[in-house]
A and B are shown apart, each in its own frame.
Chain A
Amino acid sequence: MKLIVEAIITGILTGGIYALMASGLTLIFGVMDIINVGQGALVILGAYLSYALQVNFHVDLFWGLLITMPAMFLLGLLLEWAFIRPLKRDRPTLSILVTFAIAMIIEGILGIVFTNNIVQLHSWYVDASFQIGDYYLAYIYVLSFILSIVLLGGLYLLLYRTKFGYSLLASMQNRTAAQLIGIDVEKVSAITFGIGVSLAAAGGMAYGATFAFNPGSLYDLISRLLVIIILGGMGSLRGALIASVGMLVIEDATAVVLSPVWATTVFFLLLIIIMVFRPQGLFGQLEGRKQ
C-alpha cells in the first residue's frame, strides 16, 4: 500500500514533465493540423543541449533553459519554414513523414556528436533527495514539477490573456474563418511550432535529469507522447495534462503491483480499451467533415 502511494506521488510528478512535452505536441496539432512525430527527437535534442551546456560551460540546468528554450524556438521557426510550410497537398499525412525524417536526421547527428552511450544530467538537486514520511524523493522531481506548472501557467496566460493567444485559439477553431477575419494564420502557425519546440527543450531538460537517455530514446518517448495526446483528445491541452499524469501514475503503479516490464504494455492496453468506447479520446471533439 505504501509502495502504491509512493508510485502515485512519483507518477504525478513525472506526469508533469510529460505534460510539458505533450502540450507542445497537442498545441501544434490543434493549430496546424499536423502531427509532429519529431517531438520525441526534439525533446532528446533539448536534453543533449542542456547536457552540452552543463558539461562544457558549467551552466546550471535551469538557467541553461534561458539559452536552450529560445534556441529551440528559433529551430522550430526554421523547421516550420523549411519543411512544413512547403507542404501544400495532403498536409496531415505528409507532415508525419516529414517530421519522422527530421527525427531520423536529429537522431543521426546526436549519435555522431554525443555517441550512443546512455547519459543522465547531473546537478546537486538531481543527486540529493529529501524525506516525506519514510520515502525519499530527489529534489529534481519537485523542481521539474514546479517548472512544468510555471511554463504551463505561462502558456495558459499566453493563450487566454493576450491578443496573440486569441488569434491562436481562433486558428485552432477554424483556420479559414480566422484567415477571413484578418489573422495571419501562417505567422501564428510558425510561432506555435516554435512554442511547441521550445516546450520540448524544457521537457527535455526535465526528462534528462529524471531518466537516463541516449539518442535512441526518442522512439520510446514519441510512442508515449502520441498515446498521451490521443488519449487526452487530439488538440486538447487539458486532455494532454490529465492523460500524462494519468499515464505515469498507472505505469508506476503497475510497475509496483505487477512488474516493471509490463508497465508500458498496461498503459497501451488501456488506450486500446478507451479507443473502443471513445474513439475521440477523453476530451477530444468528434472528427467530423473537415472540408
Chain B
Amino acid sequence: MVKKIGLVVLLIAFIAFPQVFSNPAVTTIAIFTLMYATATTAWNIFSGYTGYIALGHAAFFGIGSYAIALMCLNWHIPGGYIPFLLVPVAGLIAAAFAVPVGWISLRTRKHTFVVITIAIFFIMQPMAFNLRSITNGSTGLSLPIPTGWGGTYFNFPFYYVALAMLVFALGVSWWIRNSKYGLGLLAIRDDEDRALGLGVKTGSSKLIAFVISAFFVGMVGALHAYFQESIYPAFAFDPLFDIAIALMGFLGGMGTLSGPILGAIILEPTQRYFTMQFSANGYYLIIYGALFLAIILLLPEGVVPTANKYWLKWKAFRERTKNVSNESDDGKGKVRP
C-alpha cells in the first residue's frame, strides 16, 4: 500500500516537474534524463534479465533517428504533434532490424556476444556515412522544426512524450519481471544450459527480449532526433551511447526495475554538467572514465541491490535487538511485509 502511494506521488512529481522548474535549461536536461532512463530500462530488459551484455544498442538508436528523419522528409510531414506519432513507428523499424541482428549475434555465447554487438555497431556507423543516397552522408538530415508551441513551453511536449515512453518501458519491464517469460530470462542469466534442459525456450526468449529492447531504444533515438531537429552519423551512431546506458544500468543495478532509472537520474545530469564545463578537451573523458572505474570497483552490484542488502541487514538487526529487549513482543516484526 505504502509502495503504491509512493509510486503515485513519484509519478505526480514527475508530471509536475516542468511546471515547477520551467527553465528551458533545466527541462532540457530533464528530457535527456528521461530518454536515457527509457533507453537504460530497455537495455536492462535484455541485458539485465538475461545477463548478455549488449554494447551495440546505439545502432538501434541510430536506426530510430534515421527512420523518423526519412519518414518526415519523404512524406513531407510538417513540424507539430504528428512526428510524435511516428516515434513508435521508428521504434518498430528498429525492432525489425533487431530480428536478424539478434538472430545472428545470439548464436554466440556471453563473451563473444559482447564483441559481436560491438562489431554490429561498427558496421552500421560507416553505413550511415557511406549510403549517401539515403542518409545524405556526413552532412546529415534535418527534421521539421516543431511549430504550434514555443517559448518557455517548447520543451513541454517533449518532456511528456519522454515521460510516457519511460512509463511504457517500465510497465513492460515490470510485466516481464513478474511473468513466467521473465523467469525464463532470469534462468538464462543464472545458468543457460540448465534452463534449456528444464524446457525454457532459450533461443526465442533471448531474441524476443532483444527485439523489445531495440524497439524502445529506437523510439528514444527517434524522439532524440526530433528534439535535436537534425541528425549526423557521428551523433546518431555514438559509441558513447552504448557505454552510457551500460554504465547507468550497472550503477543502478542490473536486473532491477528502479536501478536503470536511478542510474540515469544520477549520471545523465552529471554528464551534461561535465560536458558543459569541459566540453572542448579531454578532461571530460578522464573524469567520466574515472567515475566509471570508481563505480565498477566500489559498487560492482549497483546502488539498488547494495542499498537493498544494507536495508535487509539493518531490518534483521533491528528485529533481533527488539526481540532480545522485549520478549513478549516477539514476532511482531515478522508480520510486517
Contact = CB atoms under 8 A, between A and B. Distances in A.
Main secondary structure of the interface of B (DSSP, over half): helix
Interface stretch (A85-93, A166-174, A248-256): A85-93
Contacts of A112: 281-283, 286
Given A108-B283, A276-B104, A226 B126 contact: no
Interface stretch (B107-115, B159-167, B319-327): B107-115
Contact of B282 (A87, A103, A108, A272): A108
Contacts of A102: 289, 293
Contact of B290 (A86, A105, A107): A105
Given A98-B293, A275-B107, A107 B116 contact: no
Interface in B187-218: 191, 193
Interface stretch (B79-87, B117-125, B257-265): B117-125
B127 interface: yes
Interface stretch (B150-158, B225-233, B239-247): B239-247
A87 B301 CA distance: 11
A5 interface: no
Nearest to A235: B111
B269 interface: no
Most chain A CB neighbours (cut-off 10 Å) among B111, B239, B250: B111
A78 to B, nearest CB: 14
Nearest to A262: B130
A250 to B, nearest CB: 15
A279 B292 contact: no
A265 B126 contact: yes
A279 B127 contact: no
A268 interface: yes
A271 interface: yes
B300 interface: yes
Interface string B71-115: 000000000000000000000000000000000110111111011
Given A101-B289, A111-B285, A275-B104, A35 B296 contact: no
Contact of A276 (B107, B110, B297, B300): B107
A62 interface: no
Given A104-B289, A108-B289, A230 B112 contact: yes
B293 A101 contact: yes
A229 B114 CA distance: 13
A93 B110 contact: yes
Contacts of B296: 87, 94, 97-98, 101
Contacts of B283: 108, 112
Contact of B109 (A35, A105, A265, A287): A287
B222 interface: no
Contacts of B53: 93, 96
B127 A265 contact: yes
A27 B193 CA distance: 27
Interface residues of B, number: 45
Nearest to A233: B112
B14 interface: no
Interface in A212-226: 215, 219, 223, 226
Nearest to B105: A275
Interface in A251-291: 261-262, 264-265, 268-269, 271-272, 275-276, 279-281, 287, 289, 291
Contact of A279 (B112, B239, B281, B300): B112
B174 interface: no
Nearest to A103: B289
Given A97-B292, A107-B282, A234 B112 contact: yes
B55 interface: yes
A271 B105 CA distance: 11
B284 interface: yes
A67 interface: no
Most chain B CB neighbours (cut-off 10 Å) among A87, A105, A271: A105
14 contacts: A83-B293, A86-B297, A87-B297, A97-B292, A101-B296, A104-B286, A108-B284, A111-B285, A227-B115, A230-B112, A264-B122, A275-B105, A287-B111, A291-B191
